[in-house]
Amino acid sequence: MTARRPIAIRGSVHTDLQHDSATKHVTGLATYTDDIAEPARTLHACLGLSTIAHGRIEACDLDTVRSAAGVVAVLTAADIPGVNDISPTGLNDEPIFAEDKVEFHGQPIFAVIAETRDAARRAVVKARIDYTPLPHALDPLEAIEKGYPHVTAPLTLRRGDADAALAAAQHRIKGQMAVGGQDHMYLEGQIALAIPGEDDDVTVWSSTQHPSEVQHMVGHALGVPSNAVTVKVRRMGGGFGGKETQMNIFAAVAAVAAKKLGRPVKLRPDRDDDMIATGKRHDFAIDYDVGFDGEGRIEALDARFAARCGFSADLSGPVTDRALFHADNAYFYPAVRLQSRPMKTNTVSNTAFRGFGGPQGVIAAERVIEEIAYALGRDTLDIRKANLYGGAGRDVTPYHQTVEDNILPRLIGELEETADYQTRRAAILAHNAEGSVLRKGIALTPVKFGISFTATWFNQAGALVHVYKDGSIHLNHGGTEMGQGLNTKVAQVVADAFQVDIDRIKITATSTGKVPNTSATAASSGSDLNAMAALDAVEQIKARLVAFATEHWQTDASAIRFAPNTVLIGDEAVPFPDLVSAAYMARVQLSAAGFYKTPKIHWDRETGTGRPFYYFAYGAAVSEVTVDTLTGEYRVERTDILHDVGRSLNPAIDLGQIEGGFVQGVGWLTSEELWWDAEGRLRTHAPSTYKIPLASDIPRIFNVALAEWSENPERTIKRSKAVGEPPFMLGISVFEALSMAVASIADYRECPRLDAPATPERVLMAIERLRGAESSA
Amino acid sequence: MAHRQEIRFLLNDRQVAIGDIGASDTLLDHLRLTAALTGTKEGCAEGDCGACTVLVGRLRDGVLRYQPVNACIRFLASVDACHVVTVEHLRAGEGGGLHPVQQAMVDHHGSQCGFCTPGIVMALYALWMQTPEPTRHQIETALQGNLCRCTGYAPIIRAAEAAARYGTPATDPLNTEREAVTARLAALQDGHRVEVARDDDRAILPASVDDLAAMLLEHPAATVVAGATDVGLWVTKHFRDISPAVFTGHLEGLQQIEVGDTAMRIGAGASYTDCEAMLAAEYPNLTEYWNRIAGWQVRNMGTVGGNIANGSPIGDTPPVLIALGAEIVLRRGEARRSLALEDFFIDYGKQDRAPGEFIEQIIIPRRANGTHHAAYKVSKRRDDDISSVAAAFNVTVAEGTVTAARIAFGGMAGIPKRAKAAEAAIVGAAWSEATLLTAAASLDDDFAPLTDWRASSEYRMQVARNLFRRFWLEQGAGDAAARLSA
């Protein structure tokens, strides 16, 4: 009699599985960088920041800083042995420490290294720096007006003759929309711990989405080759794009200090400094000019996207590019011209944030839809449907990629039904007609999001898998865990491929010493890339095991099958560890490096043509809101989401990404307001003043479902789709519902033209504006 | 009087005694840097994110009460004779494994990055101990002081709803060990004044309210630290020297709440939480308003007296208390004086408080017949935000005519202030919408609000005017549906 074997492994793909660190999270045992036991003699650094927005540094008196209690050293640009630059795009426009001039309020000028973090912080404020102020420009329109340059080359996407089509259109509307930025407000702030080693070596533990870039930047700052620098990340307390490039300065300063002083150095800025000195989502000023027919079909769109990029390029090039790539959202533009204006401003250099410019493009498309609907007196959903990609000659994007897999008509149709959109909209119209103080709004908005880094070479990944002779598995890959469950998903893929329980797999810290030349964990690509690389490694090891088994058991490869925790070899069932052990004795290599690169994609930025995206991810949301027309305050009553993740690797984790992304998107468009004063000081620089959503801000009723019928037509990992960014844009449904409630004041005859974020103030002022227009009409 | 020169408290299951401690040392730094309890996180160091949430248990009239607080702005000296419970101390009841709240969070996928999670677990733990089967509103209230950037809260709310199914508070170690801990804490209360210092950074815990009065006479420049929800930031964000700091949070004599025939008396050291039930019973309209003061942790720490003494133009309680006609009792040594609360606020940053003087009591009149009350808070985010505009109305109507009116605003001037012109426009006029709209129109005579990151001048004024209309709709027209409630 044979022992009963389990029919399935624990933790396979397509199953709900807890985040691999869930138990450690709830017990406080998950180790973040600041929780790592500090090596003996660890010192602490604090950055000294500019107190003006733009000016020349005339004198920098740091003597009182040096003599402050507990201070060991003060570092300035002169102390950087390599290059004083951390520009991620190699433009050499982002000094670690400002030398002769400062270009934003909060720009790092020096660093204090002290025995304790408290001593370092208290010493920093003793600096006396004399500046000669220069004129500054804070927002993109002001920058254009003052003749500021672009921080990076702008992009134009065009198809057809937009000017001619606009001139010929039956209807034409021009408008402008301001869209605010967003702070990442990851709960764990930026942090780096640098430990000096022998020769040129340094090891940096840090909370970064991009270990390879940190490695490169630390080497650049120290003037040493990359092989001297090891960067490690076990987990981050949130990233959202804010730790893609923004960790560079903290790691570079900690490493320079550690090598100079021969002691470990930790740099963890206070939340205020973190928010003041690191980049955010780009604010945009969007001009649009749309032509459309009597049915609301868009005939042409001409739009310009001016972005607040800050003092340096950072990732503003690809961010503003992606805004243009998504300025169609889900809609076909027969003739189109889209231009980016990546404006230099005297503010912190803006950076990646979930969606990476995409949301700002999508919201522009949705504003255009709104304009058309209010102009024609139609439901916005009708206008959306009329303009979806599809049908003969209506499937090419402004960047000349054909949309081959548009599932939005079905997805929107199902959501419209399940959310009971039409009935509820009718009830809302009736409610608003009563003229009460509380008005309601409802909106259904879709998203189509392109998946792949638009910098084609980033679409590669590596993994390293070891099988030890006891059958335990060590898994490592180039992606980083920031809460999104990447490690869990990759481990599921490995468990599935080996057909072993996931408990057999140990997920290990990302290290530049294990997998080199990695891309940032960004662009929603983490699982797509790294799980494929891990699978490649597993398949190599499996192939060797199979080759060994055919020889050892004298059987054909076709007679060997990886069953749950057991390998079936002919008639024999060999426990996985036994096979591994036997293979080891036969000198079989049980370790492999895997690799993956995304196929099919190409992009020519000069001509604005190509296939930048491997595929698209889709989703849609219906949100209903109630607005208090006396204060502008509001509440989200209900949201229904139907989202496409292909065949989900882990539905529970994907639902978490959708819920979380949606709420973060709502925050961006409602309560999260970045406010600079006239001197260029960010005054919303901590959670006391910068308000991200709370538990009480989420929809009273919140229904989220996966489009379970969807399967990625491309050969992605287990036919799944990326999920990190696309749901963020579903927050737009709340913004549009608020707009409808406001529009009720003027009987929906006028587009309210809400700017974002729609704070209670913006909502009330829009209401008062429409009231004024009504009473004077 | 004998002085003790160390603070003593229970940290999870062990007793701690520390003498080398400055006034500005925070509980969070002690936990993370000294005690190596790194489960408690620092997210903002200003009491706004909740990642540092711990429970602090203290004897109150001999009864041990645990409350969630922010360790980041809680000064270490203030936990003398307390039981500090961190996430590391959560244990399962019988059977082992995770604590019910922790297991519910795991099963419902309540963590993603996990950094906020220990703080969320502690807030939900406190909720579960108090209300095992909470309503959605109770869950949201318990989480007002906790930010999560990953999950969108939905799975956390589901976990909170399910927690009771995983276990009951009756078998929780904090309950089963309650007697023993009570005895240990009682043994720590020796009635002595505590004076501790590191270098020049001195903290004093007076033995009694009388001792407090004496200490402040002796050190008139001392910083009085009650809940530390603002003073905490003076240290963590501005490095202000608060030494010598005189702590009052442990003084039961300053926390007494009495309901008399004509007035309610609140000790200046009573927390927002302490006052909540009494105020809501007398003025039901304050229930919602009170729930929107900061978050749960801060309401447990912060005091009404501190909210007043602080002098901020955007404090939540002064507009309400001014409208209710509250008085405060100021004490200096043995001398006491009463003052109408509105007269305490002289100008921005300037209050009628002499060196060595402290607020001892707040006296709030009982509700009178024929009065209409309302209190409104308008803020960018509903919960745990500072008001753009706060307004409180107290209008007396007799036979269709307004006979008295006290209307006060926060966020409209450099101090919390009555709308005197608006009041004048109302008193003597008919109780009608037209009267209130006329009063609203006169707000320009009372206020010229500022523009800042919370709101523009125009918005503040527009909202302030509109709230007169809301007051009429609710109190005159009886339209209860005219407001968005939680």
pLDDT in tens, B320-334: 999 999 999 999 999
Dihedral-angle region of residue A176 (phi above 0 means left; psi in -120 to 50 means alpha; beta otherwise): beta
Q: Which of B203, B208, B244 is nearest to B27 (CA)?
A: B203
Superfamily of domain B3-87+178-247: Beta-grasp domain (3.10.20.30)
Query: What residue spans of A132-200 are helical by DSSP H?
Result: 140-145, 162-168
Q: Which of B471, B400, B475 is nearest to B437 (CA)?
A: B471
A691 touches B at CB < 8 Å = yes
A757 preceded by a cis bond (ω within 30 of 0): yes
Q: DSSP assignment, residue A485?
A: -
Superfamily of domain B100-171: [2Fe-2S]-binding domain (1.10.150.120)
| The pair of three-digit structure tokens given for residue A126, joined into one six-digit string | 């003793």
Q: Looking at the complex, report in whole angstroms how far the Cα of residue B116 sits from the nearest Cα belonging to chain A.
A: 6
Judge contact between A626 and A634, C-beta under 8 A.
yes
Q: Is residue A3 predicted with pLDDT exceeding 60?
A: no
Cβ contacts below 8 Å, chain A against chain B, sum to 263
**Letter string b/e over residues B62-95, b meaning 16 or more CB atoms within 10 A of that residue's CB:** eebebbbbbbbbbbbbbbbbbbbbbbbbbebbee
Judge contact between A357 and A454, C-beta under 8 A.
no
Question: Strands B263-267 and B257-259, how do they pair?
Answer: antiparallel
Phi, psi of A712 (to 5 degrees): -65, 120
- What would the pLDDT profile of A649-679 be if each residue is shown by its tens digit? 999 999 999 999 999 999 999 999 999 999 9
Q: What is the pLDDT of residue B1?
A: 56
- What would the pLDDT profile of B225-240 be if each residue is shown by its tens digit? 999 999 999 999 999 9
Return the CATH fold of A41-135+184-277: Aldehyde Oxidoreductase; domain 4 (3.30.365)
- Among A725, A736, A750, A774, the active-site one is A725
Q: Looking at the complex, report in whole angstroms how far the Cα of residue B79 sits from the nearest Cα belonging to chain A.
A: 21
Order of all β-strands in the sheet with B327-332: B257-259, B263-267, B358-365, B327-332, B335-340
Question: What residues of chain B, 66 to 105, have a C-beta less than 8 Å from chain A?
Answer: 86-88, 90, 98, 101-102, 105
Which H helix or E strand runs over B69? Answer: strand B63-70
Contacts of A607 (CB under 8 A, 6+ apart): none
- Torsion angle of C-alpha atoms A760, A761, A764, A766, degrees rounded to 10: -120
Question: Closest to A19 (Cβ–Cβ): which among B47, B112, B147?
Answer: B112
- What chain B residue is nearest to A700 in terms of C-alpha separation? B136
Judge contact between A473 and A498, C-beta under 8 A.
yes
Q: Amino acid identity, residue A399?
A: Y
Contacts of B362 (CB under 8 A, 6+ apart): B265, B266, B268, B304, B305, B308, B321, B326, B327, B328, B329, B341
Domain B371-482: give its CATH architecture.
Answer: 2-Layer Sandwich (3.30)
CA angle A668, A674, A676 (to 5 degrees): 165
Own/partner pairs, B398-407, CB within 8 angstroms, 24+ separation: B398/B370, B400/B430, B400/B431, B401/B428, B401/B429, B401/B430, B401/B431, B402/B426, B402/B427, B402/B428, B402/B429, B402/B430, B402/B431, B402/B435, B403/B370, B403/B427, B403/B428, B406/B322, B406/B323, B406/B324, B406/B325, B407/B323, B407/B439
Q: What is the pLDDT of residue B478?
A: 85
Taking domain B252-365, whether its CATH number is 3.65.10.10 is answered by: no
User: For A624-647, what is the mean pLDDT?
Assistant: 98
Asked if B152 lies within 8 A of A237 by C-beta distance, the reply is no
A398 preceded by a cis bond (ω within 30 of 0): no
Q: What is the pLDDT of residue A234?
A: 97
Contacts of A692 in chain B (CB under 8 A): 147, 149
Contacts of B447 (CB under 8 A, 6+ apart): B409, B412, B413, B417, B419, B460, B461, B464
B30 touches A at CB < 8 Å = no
Judge contact between B108 and B155, C-beta under 8 A.
yes
Q: Is residue A777 predicted with pLDDT exceeding 90?
A: no
User: For A135-142, what is the mean pLDDT?
Assistant: 98
Judge contact between A210 and A634, C-beta under 8 A.
no
- Burial degree of A372 (CB within 10 A; 0-12, 13-18, 19+): buried
Mean pLDDT of chain A: 97
Distance (Å, whole) CA A676 – CA A685: 10
Q: Where are the domains of chain B?
A: 3-87+178-247, 100-171, 252-365, 371-482
Residue extent(s) of CATH 3.30.365.10 domains in chain A = 22-30+460-597, 41-135+184-277, 400-453+601-777
Query: What residue spans of B206-352 are helical by DSSP H?
Result: 209-218, 231-236, 272-282, 286-291, 296-301, 304-309, 317-323, 341-344
Helix pair angle (A358-376, A316-325), 10° resolution: 30
User: For A7-13, what is the mean pLDDT?
Assistant: 93
User: For A165-185, what is the mean pLDDT?
Assistant: 98
Q: Is the ipTM of this complex over 0.90?
A: yes
- What chain A residue is nearest to B44 in terms of C-alpha separation? A271
- A725 is known as an active-site residue: yes
Return the CATH fold of A400-453+601-777: Aldehyde Oxidoreductase; domain 4 (3.30.365)
Query: Residue for token digits 């442990």?
Result: B250
- What chain B residue is nearest to A234 in terms of C-alpha separation? B113
Question: What residues of chain A, 211 to 270, have a C-beta less than 8 Å from chain B?
Answer: 235-240, 270
Strand partners, A402: A396
Q: What is the pLDDT of residue B95?
A: 67
- What are the residue ranges in chain B where pLDDT is below 70? 1, 93-95
Order of all β-strands in the sheet with A192-196: A71-75, A108-114, A43-49, A265-267, A192-196, A202-206, A229-233, A510-511
* CATH fold match for the domains B252-365 and B371-482: no
Residue A209: count other Cβ atoms within 10 Å of its Cβ: 28
Question: What residues of chain B, 201 to 240, have a C-beta less than 8 Å from chain A?
Answer: 236-237, 239
Q: What is the pLDDT of residue B93?
A: 64
The CA distances from residue A601 to A613, A615, A714, B433, in Å, are: 6, 9, 12, 66
User: For A399-410, what is the mean pLDDT?
Assistant: 97
Distance (Å, whole) CA A645 – CA A721: 5
Q: DSSP assignment, residue A598?
A: -
Q: Looking at the complex, report in whole angstroms how far the Cα of residue A165 sits from the nearest Cα belonging to chain B.
A: 41
- What chain A residue is nearest to B46 in terms of C-alpha separation? A688
Q: What is the pLDDT of residue A1?
A: 39
Question: Closest to B382 (Cβ–Cβ): which among A485, A662, A697?
Answer: A697
Q: What is the pLDDT of residue A303?
A: 98
Distance (Å, whole) CA A30 – CA A298: 52
Taking domain A22-30+460-597, whether its CATH number is 3.30.365.10 is answered by: yes
- What would the pLDDT profile of A267-323 be if each residue is shown by its tens digit? 999 999 999 999 999 999 999 999 999 999 999 999 999 999 999 999 999 999 999
Contacts of A19 in chain B (CB under 8 A): 109, 111-112, 114
